[in-house]
Amino acid sequence: MTVPPFRPVIAIHGGAGTMSRAHAATGQEAAYHEALHAVLLPAQALLAAGGSALDAVSLAVDLLEECALFNAGHGAVFTHAGTHELDAAVMDGATLRAGAVCCVSRVRRPARAARAVMEHSEHVLFAGAGAEEFARRHGLELVDPSYFSTAARRDQLQRALAADRTLLDHDGAALAADTPAAPLEERGKMGTVGAVAVDAQGSLAAATSTGGMTNKQPGRVGDSPLIGAGTYADNATAAISCTGTGEMFIRLAVAHDVCARMRYGGLSLAQASEVVVHEALPAIAGRGGLVAVDRHGNVSMPFNTEGMYRGHARVGEAPYTAIFG
Amino acid sequence: MTVPPFRPVIAIHGGAGTMSRAHAATGQEAAYHEALHAVLLPAQALLAAGGSALDAVSLAVDLLEECALFNAGHGAVFTHAGTHELDAAVMDGATLRAGAVCCVSRVRRPARAARAVMEHSEHVLFAGAGAEEFARRHGLELVDPSYFSTAARRDQLQRALAADRTLLDHDGAALAADTPAAPLEERGKMGTVGAVAVDAQGSLAAATSTGGMTNKQPGRVGDSPLIGAGTYADNATAAISCTGTGEMFIRLAVAHDVCARMRYGGLSLAQASEVVVHEALPAIAGRGGLVAVDRHGNVSMPFNTEGMYRGHARVGEAPYTAIFG
C-alpha cells in the first residue's frame, strides 16, 4: 500500500463582516465555533476515508446551509420584497466541470442543485423557475419558501427597510448601531458560506452558497453562483470560495484572478490570495474575504473585514476555527 | 489642440458557427456583410466624433440586437418551451463597472438594460422578472415576448426538437444536414452578438447580447451576461466579447483569462486571445471565438469554428468584415 502523495484538507467560511462591538465580548461566539467544528469534522472524516474533494465540499456546504446561524439555506436573508432568493455553485478542479443555480426560492439545498446541474446537464447555470424545475426533475427536495425564514433574519430585514427610508446613501451605518444577534455585523451584505478542499489524489473542489443580501432587489445575483467570481477550482492552481460585497468580486473575477496570478504570475497561494483581498479589492472598495487551498495542502483565508467565520481541518489534526482577525 | 494619443477602433461579432456547405456558395453572405457594415459605420462615426468606447459598444450591440439576422433581441432563438430568454452584459474598462441581465423575455433591448443596471444600481446582474422590473422602472421599452420571434428561428426550433427525439447524444449532427437560412450553421449554439472598442482617451469597453441556444432548457444562462466569462473590459489589458459553446467559456472564465494572460503572463493581445481560443478551449471541447481590442488599437478576432461573423472599423479607415476563416 502506497502512502497517498497528498494530505487532504478542508477549509470553510461562513461569511465575512464587520465586528459588532456590542457582541464581541459575549458568549455568542462559542456557538459559531461549535457550528464550524460540526461542519469540519464530518468533512475531515470523509477525506480521511479517501473521499473526494468534491464530496467533501458538497457535504460541508450542505451542513452550512442547514445551520440557521449562516446566511444560506435555512436562515437565508430576506429580499426587499420579503422573499428569499438563494444562489449556489460547485466546481471540480480535476475536470473544470461546474454547476450553479441562482434565484431559487424553493430548493431546500441549493448546493445539491448546483451539483446536479454539474453532473446531469450540459449546462453550468440555471436561474429561477428553470433551476427549480431542474432540481425537481432530479429528485431534490423542494420546500415552501417560508422554510428558509427565521425570526432573526426577519428582524434584520425590518432594520434594513427602516434604514433605507432614512439613509439615502445606503451605506448601512445606521444598521451597525442596531446590533444583530451575530458577533459579526453582516449589514446584510456579507452572508455566504463556502468550502474548498484537496483530497488524497490531489484533486481540488470548491462550493459556495448564499441567501444574498438582506433587502436586495428581487432578481439580484451576486458572485457566489458565478464561476470565476465567487467560486473557482482548477487542479493546476487552487480552489477558491469567496464572501463579501459580491458586485466587487464579480467585477474583479476574484476567484479566477487568484488562480491566474498563481498560474501566469508565479505567485504562491498565499501571495495571490492576499494581493487580491488586500490590494485589488480595496482599490474598488470591495470588502470581504475568501478561503483557498492548493494541491499541496496550503490553506489561505485572507479577509479585509474585521472578521470572517472560518476554519480548516487537515486529516490527522484537530480542526482550527476563528472569527476575528 | 493636442492629437489624441489613441486611435479609436470598434470590433464586433455576430456569432461563430460551423459552415453550412449548402449555403457557403450562395449570395446569402452579402446580407451579412451589409448588416455588419451597417453596425460598424455609425459606431465608427461615434468614435470619430470623440464618443466613448462605452457608447460605441452600446450602439453597436443595440443595432445588432435589432437586426433579425443575428441571435439577439429581435431574431432571438427559442427555448425548448418555445419561449425567448435573452441575456446581455456591458463593462467599462476605465472603472471596471459592469451591468448585466439574464433570462429576460420582455425587454426589447437587453444591452440597454444591462447598461442601466451598471449606471443606476449598486448591483451587477439581475435575472428574470427582477431584471424586467428594473428595466421597466428605468424607462426601457418592454415588448410582448412574441416581438422577438421570427419564422426562421421557429423553424430552427422545430428542427432541434425533431433531432432531440432521435439523437440521444444531442450532438446535433442531424441538424447540420438540414441546413438553415444562414451561411454559418449555428446548430443553435453559437448565436451571440458583441462589440469591443477603444476610444480616443484610450478607454476600453465591451458588450455582449444573446438569445442563447435554440431548444435550451428554460432558465439556462450562458457566458454572455457573466462578467469574466463572455464579457470583460479592463483598460490595463483588453476588452473582450465572446461567442460559442457558452458553458466551456464559463468554465475557463475566457474573457478574464485573456486579460490575465496579458497582465500576469506578459502576452500580447493576439497571443493571449489565440492561446485561449486555439488551445485552452479546444482542450475541453469548447468551440467559438471572441473579439478583442487593447488600448493601443490592436484587434484580435480568433475563432476555432469554420466561421465567425465579424468586423472592425478604425477611425479613418474603411471597415473590414468577414464570415469565414
CA–CA separation, A268 and A275 (whole Å): 11
Model pLDDT, residue A230: 98
B100-129 residue pLDDT tens: 999 999 999 999 999 999 999 999 999 999
Specify whether the CB–CB gap between A302 and A311 falls below 8 A.
no
Three-state DSSP state, B83: coil
pLDDT of residue A20: 65
With an 8 Å Cβ cutoff, are A127 and B221 in contact?
yes
ipTM of the complex: 0.92
pLDDT at A23: 58
Q: Which residue type occupies B309?
A: Y
| DSSP symbols for B234-274 | -TTS-EEEEEE-HHHHHHHTHHHHHHHHHHTT---HHHHHH
Q: Which pTM does this prediction carry? A: 0.93
Say which of A122, A134, A219 has its CB closest to residue B247: A122
Q: A253 to chain B: which residues are within 8 Å by CB?
A: 227-228, 232, 253, 256
Alpha-carbon distance of B135 to A212, in angstroms, equals 21
CB A297 within 8 A of CB A9: yes
Read off the pLDDT band of B217 (50, 70, 90).
confident
Residue from B126, B138, B250 to probe the interface with A (highest A Cβ count within 10 Å) = B250
Find where cell 465608427 sits. B44
Nearest to A128 by CA among B242, B147, B79, B142: B79
| Structure confidence at residue B4 (pLDDT) | 56
- Three-state secondary structure string covering chain A: CCCCCCCCEEEEEEEEEEECHHHHCCCHHHHHHHHHHHHHHHHHHHHHCCCCHHHHHHHHHHHHHHCCCCCCCCCCCCECCCCCCEEEEEEECCCCEEEEEEEECCECCHHHHHHHHHHHCCCCEEEHHHHHHHHHHCCCCECCHHHHCCHHHHHHHHHHHHHHHHCCCCCCHHHHHCCCCCCEECCCCCCCEEEEEECCCCCEEEEEEECCCCCECCCEECCCCCECCCEEECCCCCEEEEEECHHHHHHHCHHHHHHHHHHCCCCCHHHHHHHHHHHHHHHCCCCEEEEEECCCCCEECCECCCEEEEEEEECCCCCEEEEEC
* B29: helix, strand or coil: helix
Share of chain B above pLDDT 90, in %: 71
Q: What is the mean pLDDT of residues B79-96?
A: 92
Q: Which residue has the higher pLDDT, A1 or B222?
A: B222
pLDDT-derived band at B24, boundaries 50, 70, 90: low
Among A99, A136, A91, residue whose Cα is nearest residue A116: A99
Looking at residue B180, its pLDDT comes to 45
pLDDT at B52: 98
Grid cell for residue A303: 479577509
CA distance, residue B230 to nearest chain A CA (Å): 11
d(CA A128, CA A219): 9
The pLDDT mean for chain B works out to 88
CA distance B158 to chain A (A): 20
Whether the pLDDT of residue B2 is over 70: the answer is no
Q: What is the pLDDT of residue A19?
A: 61
| B309/B66 Cα distance (integer angstroms) | 16
Cβ proximity of B130 and A103 under 8 Å: yes
**Which one of A250, A263, A284 makes the best mutation probe of the B interface by having the most chain B beta carbons within 10 Å?**
A250
Provide the residue type at B27 as one letter: G
Residue numbers of chain A with a pLDDT score lower than 70: 1-4, 18-27, 164-190
Grid coordinates given for A263: 498560474
Contact B308, B16 (CB under 8 A): yes
A245, with CB counted inside 10 A (0-12, 13-18, 19+), is buried
pLDDT in tens, B140-187: 999 998 888 888 888 878 887 887 643 322 233 334 434 445 676 555
pLDDT in tens, B246-259: 999 999 999 999 99
Q: Are A129 and A107 in contact (CB under 8 A)?
A: no
Out of A221, A227, A257, name the one closest to residue B251 (CB). A227
**Number of Cβ atoms within 10 Å of the Cβ of A1:** 3
Q: How many CB atoms lie within 10 A of CB B274?
A: 17
Of A205, A208, A229, the residue nearest A87 (C-alpha) = A208
pLDDT in tens, B45-66: 999 999 999 999 999 999 999 9
Report CB contact under 8 Å: A228, B226: yes
pLDDT band, residue B279 (cuts 50/70/90)? very high
